[in-house]
Amino acid sequence: MGDSRLIVVGGGIIGLAAAWYARRDGWRVTVVERGPPGHDACSLGNTGLVTPSHFVPLAAPGIAGMALRSVFTPRSPVRLEPRLDLDLLRFGWSFLRAANDTQVRRAGPLLRDFCLLSRSLYRDLDREFGGRFGLHHDGVLMLVSDEQHFAEERQLAAEARLLGLQAEVLGPDEIRSLDPAVRYQVAGGVLFRDDSNLDPVALNAELTHGLQREGVEFLWDAEATGWRTGEGRVQALQTTRGELQGEQYLLAAGSWTPTLRAGLGLRLPIQAGKGYSLTLPAPPALPSLPSILVEARIAVAPMGARLRFAGTMQFAGRDLRIEAHRVKAMLDAIPGYMPEFSAADFAGVEPWTGLRPVTPDGLPLLGRVPRLSNLVVATGHAMIGMTLAPATGLLVAELLAGRKPSLDLALLAPARFG
């Protein structure tokens, strides 16, 4: 791309991945990040799962019902905090309309291909960075504590196999044989062998340092505030540190994306879904495989000698305060699956929280903006931003270069909400 300049708004995992592939295409890249160097992006505290098994979008019928009931159950894994907010009401209505079996069937093949593309690209990045971000391809266990949810997981496994994914239904004895280092108390589970996991902190560090070595400019502590547009193009990005001009622009601001929608001619109905994690430096038992505790919606991942637990989805605006009762609900749920663990093991462990950008249909916003020819949007990845980051970065680079994207992006069009 010669000396053409790309301005990336957002230094989270999506912005970093897009900057990586754009730089490889020859773009001169500037990343604009509202936080300082080493900022705490929303992906840093997650379990680093790369999950082709997550081919069902967040906007699914069961989640919609759970969200509605959660208004009256503050400890629910998925929690909608009631508040007078017109954007939230519109989001909720759109979410309910999208949470149907037809939408799930339409989204499944796309999410499968999206995830598998990312998994392949992670293998390339693993070689590029010399294995320094802890990528493992051992699969992920879905663990269920009761027979009803075991039946539902068996059905999900059957649907996964129809999509060409490897899904193995396991009984309690088979799970114990597969991972004898931990005592599980479960009705059964499913091993998704196509899934992987990595260390998200190490990945972010490797990408950031790699980009800096490649000459990418980072503008830290610079909050984007708006756009100067004209003649069907973005003329400049307005920030708290002045205007920035480039030939192309990428909006990858995660949960802060709606603050930048003015002047774009788009609805960007993203709500922040707050999640929590706790990392044990010396756990009483260390699984060899990552897992998801299905009913509790808690992911568990070994990271070297450490063990991380992450979960919950709380719609409470862009509020990063840690709420003790949400953390306690997680700690109360873990021993029901892993009885060697107790709340006492987490004494002194500082909870982490981050905001996932969620769209009403559970699918990312990815593509060009119709009325502004030099602006691409890449955001709204909800709980699978880490999974989809490399593929998103590659697709953004393809859009910027005018190449045919590796995936059909029709279902992800940023203008689909109006």
pLDDT tens for 192-240 read 999 999 999 999 999 999 999 999 999 999 999 999 999 999 999 999 9
Mean pLDDT of 96-100: 83
pLDDT digits (tens, 9 = 90+) for 137-192: 999 999 999 999 999 999 999 999 999 999 999 999 999 999 999 999 999 999 99
pLDDT digits (tens, 9 = 90+) for 289-333: 999 999 999 999 999 999 999 999 888 889 999 999 999 999 999
Residue 98's Cβ-side half-sphere holds a number of Cα atoms within 13 Å equal to 22
- CA–CA gap between residue 282 and residue 139 (Å, rounded): 23
CATH of 61-85+134-196+273-358, one of 3.30.9.10, 3.40.190.10, 3.40.640.10, 3.30.310.40: 3.30.9.10
* Positions of E strands within 337-394: 352-358, 365-369, 372-379
Contact predicate 88/166, CB 8 Å:
no
Mean pLDDT of 74-86: 76
The reported pTM is: 0.95
User: Which is nearest to 289 in space by CA: 299, 278, 279?
Assistant: 299
The tokens describing 51, both together, are 């999950």
Contact predicate 376/398, CB 8 Å:
no
With b meaning 16 or more CB within 10 Å and e meaning fewer, what string describes 353-388? bbbbbbbbbbbbbbbbbeebebbbbbbbbbbbbbbb
Strand order in the sheet with 372-379: 217-219, 28-32, 5-9, 248-251, 372-379, 365-369
The tokens describing 336, both together, are 């029901």
pLDDT digits (tens, 9 = 90+) for 25-67: 999 999 999 999 888 888 899 999 999 999 988 777 776 666 6
